[in-house]
Structure 1
């Protein structure tokens, strides 16, 4: 496969939409890490994405969404809306998937990962009429934080790689569970509880993370 590599610019949005609509799997840069993405309504594309990533354990995919479109893919409550009102932001939210979300995306799980880590993804979501799903472009535990690594790991497996330079944060977003009674930080990423508390005052840490 001849993987095309193109430089990031906002004018790429129609091209990205067209490629995803055609069932392609592509790699996009984000402020956290690069991501493998596909059209969430295209079962064959999602299955191919899973094959490319070669997950070592069963898990759902992530869904890139924003406040205005979230109810199309996940169950949304007030705390989740509070968090999404600050998007784009480098957090990953665990949320209950809508029953309409493809089994290829959920993989039998009730929950999915929801994220919108940067402005380009934020704008892209609004322009594309189908759900964008994906996972980190990682191989052997190493996350791609630039196009060179994306090409090294997946250059012969994906259709398009968008080169956005070095990822701003270079690590995954902080993981917060919104399926429990009070939003709870599960793992730290780019932001801390002190960063999140002004945005979501009720957020807590699980007991094992408390000092």
Structure 2
């Protein structure tokens, strides 16, 4: 069923909150990517998220709140370290997995006894959530499997006519989805890398385990404990091959194997190597933060071309490079070669 998607300015907080209160779907800006939001306490509204995205039902959602004060409303046995992390990284690109309270519907958690909680670093979205008076369940605002949107225009490509409204809050500053850490296990476990790095988590928590799904494909019989763990995400229409190794080695490997009708995602300094082919730079090799901001734009860019295959250079896994590598590897279905 098609609906008219209203476009709201950042100052139209009350109008955005009204969409959520009446059970509608609202595109919301965050610092990571644009989200597809609904009242997280309304199972029917949450079901509309899955329908609009074509999202698998066993893929849990994250609840977005305006401050750490809201944690006790929806989470049981909140450990002290959750407030320590919130004090350090909220508002910001960090989602914490905590024990849920019965008020949180099964549709949000995919039947799990835990729920992901996040306070986004976007003043407009926090104001809308506070005005709505309910937590907002929100995955990324793309059709399931496509690259995540980092602008309102990106989101409207996928969602115009499927959602009630969208708030244009400008481009996203981080560009990859939030880090997800599970605080219900010992040691805490990194389920998805993002804008808060593994190194930053370790500085607060000490030992942090890295879930195997960060670096490999989950099996069909495995159940994801957080969004983005199991399914082929972030994928453009053409197949992707990720090339790992020192930047110059990876660049030469791609140059040797590049065929007619193929495109390249590469670090900016290597663009001249691929003259005559569609190329999308994602920033300098030594600037993983810029790569994070541009990686989804690069993947989306190739959907506007007729390339048959995409080669992608991959940063090393230090800092936010781990998140960029994870998104590229998922876009490739973990089809990775070593230069």
Verify same fold: TM over 0.5: yes
Aligned to 1:64: 64
Which structure shows the bigger proportion of residues in helix conformation? 2
Higher relative contact order (CA 8 A, sep 6+): 1
Q: Which residue of 1 aligns with 2:288?
A: none
**Aligned with 2:101: secondary structure?**
coil
Counterpart in 2 of 1:177?
A: 182
Larger strand percent:
1
Alignment pair present for 1:131 and 2:131: no
Alpha-carbon distance in structure 2 between the residues aligned to 1:177 and 1:74 = 13
Give the structure 1 partner of residue 208 of structure 2.
204
More divergent stretch after superposition (59-68 vs 148-157): 59-68
> How much is the aligned-residue C-alpha RMSD, in angstroms?
2.2
CA distance in 2, matches of 1:156, 1:59: 23
Q: Distance in 2 between matches of 1:57 and 1:100?
A: 19
Aligned residue pairs: how many?
A: 208
Q: What are the within-5 Å matches in structure 2 for residues 3-18 of structure 1?
A: 3-9=5-11, 12-18=12-18
Runs of 4 or more above 6 Å deviation: none
Cα distance between partner residues in 2 of 1:197 and 1:99: 31
Quick one: distance in 2 between partners of 1:183 and 1:82? 14
Distance 1:22 1:188, change over 3 A: same
| Structure 1, unpaired ranges of 5+ | none
Structure 1 residues 141 and 203, CA, compared in 2 at 3 Å: closer, same or farther? farther
TM-score by length of 1: 0.88
SS of equivalent residue, structure 1 residue 52: helix
Give 1:205 deviation, angstroms.
3.2
Label 1:4 to 1:112 Cα distance change in 2 as closer, same or farther (>3 A).
Answer: same
Decide whether aligned partners of structure 1 residues 192 and 107 sit closer, same or farther in structure 2, where only a CA change above 3 A counts.
Answer: closer
Compute the TM-score of the two structures, normalised by the length of structure 2. 0.57
